[in-house]
Structure 1
């Protein structure tokens, strides 16, 4: 019978970060990822300032900045007959955390996996799909899994952490059902080429709003990552129009990109996202904790889902590592994580619900074809709001710092440094000498 300290199910940003942090504490941790690699397109690819700061605290900043990436500097809204209105300018934040990094998620996950592999207590198993929970009495004691070749097995653990996304098999196995909130749109992701004359280090987001549709363009090194938004439930109708119909939709919204819509070769190039906004009423049962999208699926509005999940992972590592080293994880330990991260989650989801109601719902129903006048007025005449918004997006409410046991100096040639002493409690306030500024 296999046994480990913690089984993390799901090798996304939250799962890989949690595995890295627990391993640096000396906890035996095994991450199960159902795919054979991380290469899947059109996942969330933003790394916000709170996460970049965390990476620096882990001593991985130099290596992270060597990864191919572009920098998101602002979010602007086009206005007919006039210049675009900037809703948020990240340059207003104190450097070096005055931008959002844009990179393929597989590069970021491989980066975390390489860092975690340096820790002797870390194990990553690709092609291992968790199928159900193992229970002993009233407690979860492990997971059952199936490998890519169809073989099955079990891993027992002191605690199981589900980071397996909004379609979490483990939360379903635990009988945990989320509360859902209405979402007025779904998203279709695709790529368009970016000309050499359009390239540069600085990236931006330029949304365009029509009646019943919207289009986002996120600048990448040599392509635009495009997001087409249409009313929820219209996927079958859009696909029935065929690829030519979809190309016409894109060209009508962005005539300047009409010369390259043929890059959408077929409908297979469209990646449909069934957008959800939901939150578990309870994130844990005895022996199981859900974090990230498994606990609270986020709308793409604001692009904050990945970074909120990573903050969950940091809080979980700091709260659970001492108990895991003792080999005794209680429900109270799991409850600490939920208490610490529930309020930031509620705040972000409330903001997203307001955005849905005021911005996206009128557009999707066709009652308005552009940004609300009040939004443009605020952006033009209330500069204080323009400073608050970038800070909220870049750091979010209650950003987490790296636990003391996980911090390293920047990597240097020579032996890998040993972990620092482990904190003995889950601090709801900052420990002495440990900074907890919001940026």
Structure 2
């Protein structure tokens, strides 16, 4: 392996939203960065695809909105629920500035957009089918990663390694960092069902005794999230798939005529839901971001957007020192965690509250159908009240803005 391929200023492990955004921002600022992605492409089903206003604003700052708007997408202006058979508005983005909607975009299209933009910059090195398997250590600090490539294994030395390799992070385990697990009462079954023009136009949730389901409008199909009690997946899969089909038809009668499109259990993926967070996101020479530092519940679809906010905060603090060849002191890495930990903690607390108060009680409920308390129903009749969750999940707390400008020769 030549010297040019075995050393970089910053090695980003994981080509998901956090890794690709960080790689793009660093290269745009003129810092040498290598992004390692273990797969040969980004095309995988059931990755999160909810792009919130906070991310739309960052794309605008980077001049990528036109490219993003050209991607296949469905824009969602409000989120409603059917609770015990009764419609209930919950979240409303309309009227919020500057973006009154969120976008449902296949994540692979979004990542391809970031990759293409990154490759416009000479210091951006994206290596597909290159998997980081371990950390290199030298004089008490992380000095790079061990990599399995498509042709051979090699050591990639780096002044800084950033782990963006997800909730099952290989590098987190290699570093000996252990996240605190806050638990979750449910897992999620993901599958698709055909959509007809006569179907509802909205993205919405359905809540009934013992059952919850979310239908994401993807124009020609429904992306379905069917919630089941934590740990019940194996027992459910031991039954005929007709049990799931009937459960879907019971919650959404308009889908009864196509429930058999769930051909079998092989067509159903399981998302094991968890909420966790590292007490410490860094070691000398190593920083963890996104799900590698804090796994989020799917409630609110915030995972992608918090990961991207992490990446922007990291780039703002690290691009200058990396470009200048300055040492990357651990205090810089600690500043990234200090900046990002508060909004992550708040959102996780809200998710845990919703899990305990709503999801657990619904999944355990028998007898009478659930009802929204009269006071809450009255409050949710006001758009200003429905703006509160829209602002929290859509825009977030302590929003990040791109402060690391492009390199002069970019």
| Range of TM-score over shorter length | over 0.9
- Structure 1 residue 382, shift from structure 2 partner: 5.1
Q: How does 1:195-234 map to 2 (within 5 A)?
A: 195-198=196-199, 204-234=202-232
- Structure 1 residue 238, shift from structure 2 partner: 1.0
Q: 1:275 to 1:378 in 2, by over 3 A?
A: farther
Q: How does 1:101-180 map to 2 (within 5 A)?
A: 101-148=103-150, 151-180=152-181
Q: Are positions 1:16 and 2:17 aligned together?
A: no
- Structure 1 residue 91, shift from structure 2 partner: 1.0
Question: Would the aligned equivalents of 2:92 and 2:383 in 1 still touch at CA under 8 Å?
Answer: no
Q: 1:140 to 1:175 in 2, by over 3 A?
A: same
Segments of structure 1 that go 5 or more residues without pairing to the other structure are 408-416, 420-439
Q: Hey, what does 1:398 align to over in structure 2?
A: 398
For normalisation by structure 2, the TM-score amounts to 0.94
CA distance in 2, matches of 1:40, 1:134: 30
Q: Hey, what does 1:263 align to over in structure 2?
A: 261
CA distance in 2, matches of 1:154, 1:353: 40
CA distance in 2, matches of 1:231, 1:391: 29
- Structure 1 residue 211, shift from structure 2 partner: 2.9
Q: Hey, what does 1:318 align to over in structure 2?
A: 316
Deviates more, 1:122-131 or 1:206-215: 206-215
Question: Would the aligned equivalents of 1:359 and 1:371 in 2 still touch at CA under 8 Å?
Answer: no
Q: Hey, what does 2:249 align to over in structure 1?
A: 251
CA distance in 1, matches of 2:263, 2:375: 37
Deviations 1:98-152 (A, max 9, x none): 1101011000000110110101000111111110000002100000011245x21
Q: Hey, what does 2:386 align to over in structure 1?
A: 386
Q: Hey, what does 1:87 align to over in structure 2?
A: 90
Q: 1:267 to 1:379 in 2, by over 3 A?
A: farther
Deviations 1:54-94 (A, max 9, x none): 10110111111011101011111114565x22111111212
CA distance in 1, matches of 2:336, 2:323: 17
2:380 counterpart SS class = helix
- Structure 1 residue 197, shift from structure 2 partner: 3.8
Q: How does 1:420-435 map to 2 (within 5 A)?
A: none
Q: Are positions 1:304 and 2:308 aligned together?
A: no
CA distance in 2, matches of 1:406, 1:395: 25
Deviations 1:231-272 (A, max 9, x none): 000011110112222111111111111111111111111010
- Structure 1 residue 212, shift from structure 2 partner: 2.8
CA distance in 2, matches of 1:94, 1:315: 22
Q: 1:51 to 1:98 in 2, by over 3 A?
A: same
Deviations 1:22-76 (A, max 9, x none): 0001010000001111000011001101101110110111111011101011111
Question: Would the aligned equivalents of 1:277 and 1:296 in 2 still touch at CA under 8 Å?
Answer: yes
Across the two proteins, how many residue pairs are aligned to each other?
404
CA distance in 2, matches of 1:194, 1:286: 51
Q: Hey, what does 2:33 align to over in structure 1?
A: 29
Q: 1:216 to 1:133 in 2, by over 3 A?
A: same
1:16 counterpart SS class = helix
CA distance in 1, matches of 2:196, 2:379: 30
For normalisation by structure 1, the TM-score amounts to 0.88
1:204 counterpart SS class = coil
CA distance in 1, matches of 2:84, 2:171: 48
- Structure 1 residue 373, shift from structure 2 partner: 1.8
Q: 1:226 to 1:287 in 2, by over 3 A?
A: same
Question: Would the aligned equivalents of 1:181 and 1:278 in 2 still touch at CA under 8 Å?
Answer: yes
Q: Hey, what does 2:73 align to over in structure 1?
A: 69
Q: 1:224 to 1:406 in 2, by over 3 A?
A: farther
CA distance in 2, matches of 1:296, 1:406: 29
Q: 1:81 to 1:61 in 2, by over 3 A?
A: closer
Question: Would the aligned equivalents of 1:85 and 1:376 in 2 still touch at CA under 8 Å?
Answer: no
Segments of structure 2 that go 5 or more residues without pairing to the other structure are none
